[in-house]
Amino acid sequence: MHIAEGFLPAPHAIGWTVAAAPFVVHGARAVVKEVREHPESTLLLGAAGAFTFVLSAIKLPSVTGSSSHPTGTGAGAVLFRPPVMALLGTVVLLFQALLLAHGGLTTLGANAFAFAVVGPWAGYGAYRLARGLGAGLLPGVFVALALADLATYVTTSLQLALAFPDAASGLAGAAAKFLGVFALTQVPLAVAEGLLGVLLFRVLTVNARPELERLGVLRPATAEETAEETAEEVR
C-alpha cells in the first residue's frame, strides 16, 4: 500500500490516479455532507482518520524481506461507510508520503486505490455479509478489519504484477510472486488487526453508543435495556 515514489511506470501511475480520483471526489462530498448534517460526528471522523494514520504508519519487517503495515481503514468503513474512507485514506497517504517517506506522490493514486478504495469496500462488504448472516457487531468488525487489510495488499500485489510482468510466466507468474511476498505474509497481521478492531468497538459501544446508534452500527436500545443499564449503574 506504500509503493515508493517513482517506482511505477508513468502510464500506470497516471492510470491508477484517474481510477482513484472519482472515489476520492465522491468521498469528499460524503465527508462534507456528514459534517454539515451532523456536526457532532466531526470528533469521531477525526478519530477514524487518526486511527488509520497511526496504524498504517507502523512498519513491521516481513519474513520475505519486505515490510508490512496494518491499514485501519476497516474501522472507518464500518462507522461512516467506504466513500468517506476514500477521502480520509487518501489524506492519510498524502501526509505519510510527505512526512514519513511512506509511499510517494507519483504513486499516490495507486496507493489510494488499494488502501482507500478497495480495502474499505472489501471490509465493508464482508461486514454487511457477516451481519446479514446473523453475526453480531464484534464478529462483523473482525472480518471487516481483517478483510480490508488483506484486500489492500492483494490489490497492491496485482498492481505491481501489472506494472512488472514476469519475463517468462507473464502476468500470472508476476502476480503469484508479488502475492507471495506481500499478501500471504499479511494474513497474520490482518488477523491481529481484526482483533484490535474488536477491542476498539468494545470501547466505542460503551463510550459512544448514541453516535453508533445514529450511524446505524448499533440498533437503538429499547426502554427495557435502558432501564437495565441504569439499574446496573446504580448497583
Residue 177 has phi, psi (to 5 degrees) of -65, -50
Band of pLDDT at residue 64, cut at 50, 70 and 90: low
The C-alpha angle 134, 217, 90, rounded to 5 degrees, equals 115
Residue 135 has pLDDT above 70, yes or no: yes
Higher pLDDT, 216 or 60: 216
Query: For 68-92, what is each residue's pLDDT tens digit?
Result: 788 999 999 999 999 999 999 999 9
Q: What is the pLDDT of residue 179?
A: 87
Find how far residue 191's CA is from the centre of its chain.
Answer: 14
* Rounded distance between C-alpha atoms, residue 186 and residue 234, angstroms: 46
**C-beta atoms surrounding 228 within 10 Å:** 12
Q: What is the pLDDT of residue 230?
A: 41
Band of pLDDT at residue 229, cut at 50, 70 and 90: very low
Average pLDDT over the chain, rounded to an integer: 89
CA distances from 128 to 117, 133, 184, 216 (A): 17, 9, 25, 12
* Rounded distance between C-alpha atoms, residue 197 and residue 58, angstroms: 16
116 contacts: CB under 8 Å, gap ≥ 6: 20, 23, 24, 27, 73, 85, 86, 87, 88, 89, 90, 92, 93
Q: What is the mean pLDDT of residues 195-217?
A: 93
Query: For 150-185, what is each residue's pLDDT tens digit?
Result: 999 999 999 999 999 988 888 999 999 888 877 777
* Rounded distance between C-alpha atoms, residue 21 and residue 23, angstroms: 5
Q: What is the pLDDT of residue 123?
A: 97
Q: What is the mean pLDDT of residues 135-140?
A: 94
Q: What is the pLDDT of residue 219?
A: 83
> Which residue from 161, 196, 213 is spatially nearest to 3, judged by alpha carbons?
161
Give the chain's length.
235
- Class of residue 132 by CB neighbours under 10 A (exposed 0-12, middle 13-18, buried 19+): exposed
Band of pLDDT at residue 101, cut at 50, 70 and 90: confident
CATH fold of 10-224: Arp2/3 complex 21 kDa subunit ARPC3 (1.10.1760)
**Weakest-pLDDT range from 97-111, 115-129, 175-189:** 175-189
3-state secondary structure of 69: coil
The upper half-sphere exposure of residue 227, i.e. CA atoms within 13 Å in the direction of its Cβ, equals 3
Residue 54 has pLDDT above 80, yes or no: yes
* Rounded distance between C-alpha atoms, residue 193 and residue 147, angstroms: 10
- Residue 34's H or E segment, with its range, is helix 10-37
Residue 232 has pLDDT above 60, yes or no: no
Q: What is the mean pLDDT of residues 199-226?
A: 83
